Amino acid sequence: MFRWIIKTLWRQKGSVITSSSGVAFAFVLVVVMDAAFVGESNQIVAYARNINPDVWVMQKGVSNMHMATSFVWDWKAKRIAEIPGVKQVTPILYVNTVVRSGGQNWFSYVIGLLPNNQRAGPWMMSSGNAIPGPGEIVLPNILSRMTNVKLGDKSTIADKEFTVVGFSDETFSMANSIVFVNFSDLEDLVSSSGTVSFILVDAEPDQDVNDLANRIEQQVDKVSSITQDRFIKNDFQIAMLMGVEIVSFMTIIGSVLAAMIIAFTVYSQVARRKQELAIAKALGYKNRSLYLVVLFQTFIITGLALVLALLISILLLPFLSTLVPQITLTVTMTALIRMSVIAMIVAIIASLVPVRIVANVDPLTVFKA
């Protein structure tokens, strides 16, 4: 019986390859959407992840950076520095706003850096200076590729012009870019004299960071103190809430499309061989054996589609990253496993359609003219 199905598939190899290719592209849609979602979500927490302090201190009630506002009196940074277990504190000023560069507007995290504050500045540079002086700005390198902005060109935040003095890497996503300016310039723009937004706290070696975070909240009035892991988790959850419905919808579309293609292909092949199935029943094969044949055929088509989807994804994603550099694509093993599971579920669902044909085949049809 299984030899029959293999011979059948081989005789129809053109149709099988075409159908598997259609299913594969449906699965590729799922992989690309997931890669864009994961990549962009990771980029939203790129600043926090790369700066990597042990503890974040911010305004009471604030627990993340994305789409948040925080103002803390600057004297509290000095108070925190005196707490046992604190190795170093690094205050920054932060606002999320629109930056105009290259004739286009970009929603951005704007980080205000104190002079010589490399600790909170860009972690990877493409060109130019990493620490902006008064009237200067450091932009993501991708903006220079997209808009032809060069060192020495002008960029605007609100009504203030800045001179581009550097380009940083790994600081751009569709949701936000990360730009760096001088602390005093950003202080003037947001009228926040005497305040900072976040205080980055580095702990002494062997210091329990959870204990340190708790002691900071207890000893410094009206601040929230959160460990690095918790801070990143909070920001990542915000990113998930912003995009998970779209990705889930696209995943459902891709899966339904794949199921329809598989179901149609297997249905057509089984329907064309009703007489052969009738012969098998007349020879004593039970429905259970015929069901297994249909499932086997379905899994072959789905397995081939899965292999094609993986190969296409491996070739396509680097090309997409070059073609559309503003989108960060990250493929995870979890995504590939998820796609494989979806493929198997789709195969089972798709096989239910032709199985009805098998169940209703009348063995007597083999004797009809």
**How many separate helices (H) and strands (E) can be counted in the chain?**
11, 12
Residue 178 CA to residue 173 CA, distance in Å, equals: 9
Query: pLDDT tens digit string along 28-84?
Result: 877 777 777 777 777 778 899 999 999 999 999 999 888 788 999 999 999 999 999
What is the Rg, in whole angstroms, of the alpha carbon atoms belonging to the chain?
29
CA atoms 274, 275, 276, 281: torsion sign: positive
Query: pLDDT tens digit string along 305-316?
Result: 888 888 887 787
The CA distances from residue 250 to 33, 34, 255, 337, 350, in Å, are: 7, 9, 9, 17, 19
Nearest by Cα to 266 from 330, 147, 356, 198: 356
Average pLDDT, the chain: 81
Global pTM exceeds 0.85: no
Contact 65, 199 (CB under 8 A): no
Residue 140 CA to residue 79 CA, distance in Å, equals: 34
pLDDT at 243: 58
Under the banding of pLDDT at 50, 70 and 90, the label for residue 253 is confident
The CA distances from residue 312 to 309, 315, 336, in Å, are: 5, 5, 13
Q: Is 155 exposed, middle or buried (0-12, 13-18, 19+ CB in 10 A)?
A: buried
Which residues does residue 98 pair with via DSSP β-bridges, in sequence order?
Answer: 107
Region 153-158: mean pLDDT is 92
pLDDT at 193: 85
The CA distances from residue 368 to 40, 271, 273, 280, in Å, are: 62, 17, 15, 15
Most confident of the following: 96-100, 244-248, 318-322, 345-349:
96-100
